[in-house]
Amino acid sequence: MPITDPVKRIFIFGAGGSAFLPILKSLTGKSDPRICLLPTAIADNPTTINYWYERCVELGIKGFAQRMFISSYEQQKSFEEVLLSMDAILVTGGNTLNMLAIWKAHGIDSVLRKAWEQGIILSGGSAGSLCWFEHGTTDSRPQKITRIDCLGFLQGSHCPHYDSEQSRRPLYHSFIRSREFKPGYACDDKAAIVFHDQDVHEVVALDEGSNAYYVHLDNEDVIETKLKKTVIYPA
C-alpha cells in the first residue's frame, strides 16, 4: 500500500485551555498522550506551568512544559527533540507579538511546522489560536487592538475573544471589509474548531450560546456564517 502523509491537525479555541484539554487528549487517540505546554506568550509563568501539571495528572496526560527562558546548563535536549517527541503541543494565551519574536529567534516556528507536517496536533486559545493563521487581531501592543502577521500554517485570518471583548468583532469586520484581512474564522471564548489540513473538520462549544464563525466579504457586506457545532460540557 502507498504511504500517505499524516493529516495535519490544529485545534483552536477562543480563550482558555483547561476546559478544552480533555478534547485535545481525545484527539490524540491515546490513553496517556504526551502533550507539551508552550507558555512563551506568558513568559513561562510558573503558576500557569504548575497548574498545567496538576491538570495533566487529573486527566492522565504525560505533561511537559517547554520553557523558552532557559540556559544551556538547564536543558540538554534541543527544542526540536522535545517538541517532535510529543503527540500534541498546546500554546497558551498571552502576548502574541512577543511570543512570535522569541519563537523566530530560536527557530521554534520551523520546528512547529515540522511537527504539524508530521501529524503532531497543534493547539491553543487566544494567542495560541491566533498564531497558526496568516494574520489576525492582537492586543499585544499599547493603546489599541491591532493587526498581527503570524505563522500562516492555516490560510486566512482569525479573531479570538469574539464574544467577550467589545471591540474585537467590529474591528475584525473592518479589516475584512477593507480587504486588509483575508476571510477567516472567529471563535467565541467557549467555542473551538478542529482543522484537518486547511478544512474545518469539527466545531465544538462548551455551551449553547458559544459559536465559531466563518467571516467573509460578499460584495461589500461582511457575512458571518455560524458553523455547525456539537455542544459539550467541560470536565
In the chain, domain spans:
9-231
pLDDT of residue 2: 56
| Per-residue model confidence (pLDDT) at position 137 | 92
Residues 17 and 125: beta-carbon distance below 8 Å: yes
Fold entry, domain 9-231: Rossmann fold (3.40.50)
Tell me the C-alpha to C-alpha distance, in Å, between residue 149 and each of 17, 67, 102, 146. 23, 23, 14, 10
Q: Which residues are catalytic?
A: 126, 161
| Four-CA torsion 20, 61, 53, 19, nearest 10 degrees | 10
From first to last of its 235 residues, the chain has per-residue pLDDT tens of 556 789 999 999 999 778 999 999 999 999 999 999 999 999 999 999 999 999 999 999 999 999 999 999 999 999 999 999 999 999 999 999 999 999 999 999 999 999 999 999 999 999 999 999 999 998 889 988 889 999 999 999 999 999 998 899 999 999 999 999 999 999 999 999 999 999 999 999 999 999 999 999 998 899 999 999 999 977 6
Q: Which three cell numbers stand for residue 59?
A: 486527566
Query: Please, which residues bridge with residue 144 across strands?
Result: none
| Distances from the Cα of 222 to the Cα of 83, 174, 186, angstroms | 39, 9, 13
